[in-house]
Amino acid sequence: MNILRVVYEWPPPWSGLTPGPFELTQAQSAQGHNLRVVCGGWPRHPVTAVPRVRVRRLPSSLPRLSLFPTTAPAALVWLMRWHNWADIIHGHGHLPVWYHLWRRAVRDRKPYVLHLHVTAAGRQVSTRKLDSQLDFWTARFEWPLHELSDRVGCQVADAVICTSQSVRDEAARHYGAQPEKLHVVPNGVNTELFVPEGNNARQRFGLSLDDKVMLFVGGLHSRKRPHLLLETLAATPPEWKLLLVGQGPLEAKLRLQAQQLGLTKRVFFAGYVPYLELPPLYRAADVFTLLSEYEGYPKVILEALSCGVPVVTTPSFQADETIEPHLTTLQEDAPGKVAAVVQRAAGGPPVDVARVRAACDWRVRTEVIWQIYQQVGQRQA
């Protein structure tokens, strides 16, 4: 099959959603499919090559204006150039926004699958809960167009893949998506990369075997609530340390907060770490902590579990039945309560790594997506 993928993120860098579509593409290539990927990032980034995959970098999005007047129109041009080559088009997020509008206008019948990792509407609800103030361009331009892309995409797609049941519910509630179109396919994990055995990064950060380590991997953004991790650390005994992996606009505030709480020797800011170099950091942890207000289906939880690290998280997304038993989900977010839960989780029963890996490997997820492709193709025949 010839698969045309439209997704803004492609490595390098390994940021945001990048690992998921990359791993899906790699697994589909291993199945013998041919793929072409339309993505952003030109001219700043080279392209990580995958066999049987051709990648077309488009102009990077511009500050404030985002991808809508830049990368997205270019994506439509290349979609039209490769339209006849493709057996199916698989769009991710809101880069295909102009294709959604074009598809509705001309009633294009090329099999099309939209992949919702989150919904714009769900993120807006989360932002209002946090009482966060969005800048003018995000509030008046970027997010409304993102929501438009989601809404029209749900109308024109033959199938909509949602990364969790909560994303599916949001698509139905906010966009009126037809239930028969919606398929829940969670993110997967590379079980050859994320393994319990191997070197860990403790020595790199001067951590001893007696130290207890909380790990966070992700963007330092308000919806991830990294400030709560620092408050939680302050409520734990001195042997507990916090390793923050990632970068974002809150880093300066978090460093100041760590100083004010007297935690500068207990918090380690690792910054951006490429995806392929993450396993030793997971293996350095006693517990993985993700205290977000909102998530689609966080791949980092699967990476931690695949490395045998217990997870403490919030009800920010709806976990599937495979991983739910391995999560400790917080009912209260007071720092003292969170600290107690984190300490219990670190000393709790071990993760059933074999079960997680067998159910969540990217090859398993790819088989489910292949079945969706076949259903779409049969309906269009």
Section 351-359 average pLDDT: 93
Asked whether residue 194 is domain-assigned, the answer is: no
Residue 234 lies in a domain: yes
pLDDT for the residue 67:
85
Predicted structure pTM score: 0.93
Start-to-end C-alpha separation, the chain:
15
Once rounded to an integer, what is the mean pLDDT over residues 103-107? 95
Give the confidence band of 322 by pLDDT, cuts at 50, 70, 90: confident
Distance CA 112, CA 192 (A): 30
Q: How confident is the model at residue 75 (pLDDT cuts 50, 70, 90)?
A: very high
d(CA 143, CA 140): 7
Q: Do 43 and 132 have their domain in common?
A: yes
Which band of pLDDT confidence, cut at 50, 70 and 90, is reported for residue 133? Answer: low
| β-bridge partners, 241 | 213
Q: Which amino acid is at 196?
A: P
For the domain that residue 335 is a member of, what is the CATH number?
Answer: 3.40.50.2000
Q: Is the pLDDT of residue 63 over 90?
A: no
How far CA 342 is from CA of 46, 104, 289, in Å, comes to: 40, 49, 8
Residue 183 lies in a domain: yes
Residues 345 and 239 in one domain: yes
Instruction: Write down the H helix ranges in the chain.
Output: 19-30, 71-82, 97-106, 120-130, 136-137, 143-156, 165-175, 226-234, 251-260, 279-283, 299-306, 335-346, 353-360, 362-380
Domain coverage including residue 294: 203-360
Give me the chain's average pLDDT, please.
93
Residues 232 and 375 in one domain: no
Please check whether residues 236 and 352 belong to one and the same domain: yes
Residue 219 confidence (pLDDT): 94
The mean pLDDT value for 219-240 works out to 95
> How confident is the model at residue 136, as a pLDDT?
62
Span 360-372, average pLDDT:
97
Least confident of 72-76, 250-254, 350-354, 377-381: 377-381
* pLDDT band (50, 70, 90) for residue 335: very high
Is there a domain that residue 198 lies in?
Answer: no
pLDDT class of 138 with cuts at 50, 70, 90: low
| Predicted pLDDT of residue 122 | 85
Within-domain flag for 322 = yes
Same domain, yes or no: 168 and 113: yes
Same domain, 170 and 228: no
For the chain, the domain total comes to: 2
The answer to whether residue 161 is domain-embedded is yes
User: Is the predicted pLDDT of residue 314 greater than 80, yes or no?
Assistant: yes
Mean pLDDT, range 295-314, rounded to an integer: 95
Q: Are residues 261 and 163 in the same domain?
A: no
The answer to whether position 196 is within a domain reads no
Same domain, 310 and 259: yes
Same domain flag for 238 and 123: no
In a domain, 195, yes or no: no
pLDDT-derived band at 318 (thresholds 50, 70, 90) equals confident
In the chain, % of residues over pLDDT 70: 95
Q: Are 112 and 283 in contact (CB under 8 A)?
A: no
Residues 231 and 297 in one domain: yes
Q: 157 and 234 in one domain?
A: no
Whether residue 138 is found in the same domain as residue 253: no
